């Protein structure tokens, strides 16, 4: 096992380098970089104030680098490091990331690590509830469907699950806003942030209630489309295990149905669920939070990544991607070791040979 661990850790290094190299090439050569973004902001300010110092009227149009002094363009190019050769910029990025130095944001006057720390709490909160509720709902429901396969309960729950799976999370989020967020029907839940402005003044029970009140809609939008797949996977896995010979043997020994399901079948059915554990974790905590955070105005990592891409804030884009990739690789490694905890018969050395 330790040999396997060392091998996987060594494989992570070229994987990280490959992901960062590909992203670096895209960000360095895509049209409209941070220099053009900064020039557009300067051009906007000049157009609004007027060339004679008076306030401009009407809208403004980006005139490109022709509307900015050449010296300012050179200063911005040097500020963002684009005056250096591409290979030098690439090597600087690799050496910084090897020391876990993610650099500084171009436009936020903060280091990337500080920005990630500030936004991480929102993404963790959304991801934790999404991930936890997904498994708390999907596994028991999948087991119940497997035990009652072919009944009316199985039919109607499958219909509900498939409808939930067919509706994307952001579409369901819009529907929830229209229904319960003061859109066109009921104004029941808030649409911004995880807490109210007076949260610090509330009692302990009031803080818990206020937090759950704010998190209800975004978590619902995230969970419904996520747990549907896990429910069907759990059902199919249990159905396959229930038909095996050891289940008949356990029942013949006089074990109750609950003991057969949760002591014998459940342990063997866990392997396919653990296989999808890393993907579910990453989707709940990072990937799937982008649209939900944007839709419900939650200031988390998803919204930070989206705004950074729009503003061409490349250190933040690269830094968040580096962090997501690293966490994903580590979670995948932990998922592999979870196989051994569930089924000690699994031997990594035997698989490799």
What would the pLDDT profile of 147-187 be if each residue is shown by its tens digit?
Answer: 888 899 989 998 888 888 788 777 888 888 888 876 667 77
Rounded Cα gap, residues 327 and 336, in angstroms: 14
Residues 6+ apart with CB under 8 A from 221: 169, 170, 172, 173, 176, 292, 295, 296
CATH number of 112-352: 1.10.3720.10
Smallest CA-to-CA distance from 145 within 155, 134, 135 is with 155
Q: Each residue of 105-144: pLDDT tens digit? A: 888 888 889 988 888 888 888 888 888 888 888 888 888 8
Q: Each residue of 220-238: pLDDT tens digit? A: 888 887 777 788 888 888 8
Sign of CA dihedral 110, 111, 114, 118: positive
pTM score over 0.85:
no
Tokens of 329: 């690789």
Length of the chain: 353
Smallest CA-to-CA distance from 284 within 189, 139, 169, 194 is with 169
CB of 296 within 8 A of CB of 215?
no
Domain boundaries, the chain: 34-101, 112-352
Residues 6+ apart with CB under 8 A from 236: 146
| Own/partner long-range contacts of 46-49 (Cβ < 8 Å, ≥24 apart) | none
Place of tokens 């950074």: 308
Helices 266-275 and 204-242, interaxial angle, to 10°? Answer: 110
Q: Each residue of 320-349: pLDDT tens digit? A: 888 888 887 887 777 777 666 666 666 655
């Amino acid at each position: 096992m330790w040999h396997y661990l060392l091998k996987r850790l060594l494989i992570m290094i070229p994987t990280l380098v490959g992901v960062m190299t590909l992203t670096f090439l895209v960000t360095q050569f895509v049209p409209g970089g941070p220099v053009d973004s900064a020039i557009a902001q300067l051009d906007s300010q000049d157009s609004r104030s007027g060339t004679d110092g008076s306030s401009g009227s009407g809208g403004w149009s980006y005139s490109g680098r022709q509307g900015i002094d050449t010296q300012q363009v050179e200063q911005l190019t040097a500020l963002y490091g684009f005056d250096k050769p591409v290979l030098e910029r690439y090597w600087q990025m690799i050496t910084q990331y090897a020391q876990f130095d993610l650099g500084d944001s171009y436009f936020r006057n903060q280091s990337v690590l500080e920005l990630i720390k500030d936004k991480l709490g929102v993404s963790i909160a959304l991801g934790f509830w999404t991930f936890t509720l997904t498994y708390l709902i999907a596994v028991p429901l999948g087991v119940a469907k497997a035990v009652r396969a072919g009944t009316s309960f199985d039919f109607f729950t499958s219909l509900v699950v498939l409808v939930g799976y067919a509706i994307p999370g952001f579409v369901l989020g819009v529907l929830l806003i229209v229904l319960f967020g003061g859109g066109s029907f009921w104004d029941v839940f808030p649409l911004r942030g995880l807490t109210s402005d007076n949260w610090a003044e509330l009692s302990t029970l009031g803080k818990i209630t206020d937090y759950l009140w704010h998190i209800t809609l975004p978590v619902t939008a995230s969970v419904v489309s996520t747990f549907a797949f896990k429910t069907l996977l759990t059902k199919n896995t249990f159905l396959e295990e229930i038909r095996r010979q050891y289940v008949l043997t356990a029942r013949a020994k006089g074990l109750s149905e609950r003991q057969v399901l949760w002591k014998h079948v459940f342990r063997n059915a866990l392997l396919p669920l653990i296989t999808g554990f890393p993907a579910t974790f990453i989707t709940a905590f990072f990937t799937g939070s982008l649209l939900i955070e944007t839709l419900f105005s939650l200031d988390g990592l998803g919204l930070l990544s989206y705004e950074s891409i729009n503003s061409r804030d490349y250190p933040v884009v690269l830094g968040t991607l580096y962090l997501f990739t690293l966490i994903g690789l580590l979670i995948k490694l932990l998922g592999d070791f979870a196989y051994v905890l569930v089924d000690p018969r699994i031997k990594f050395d035997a698989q490799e040979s």
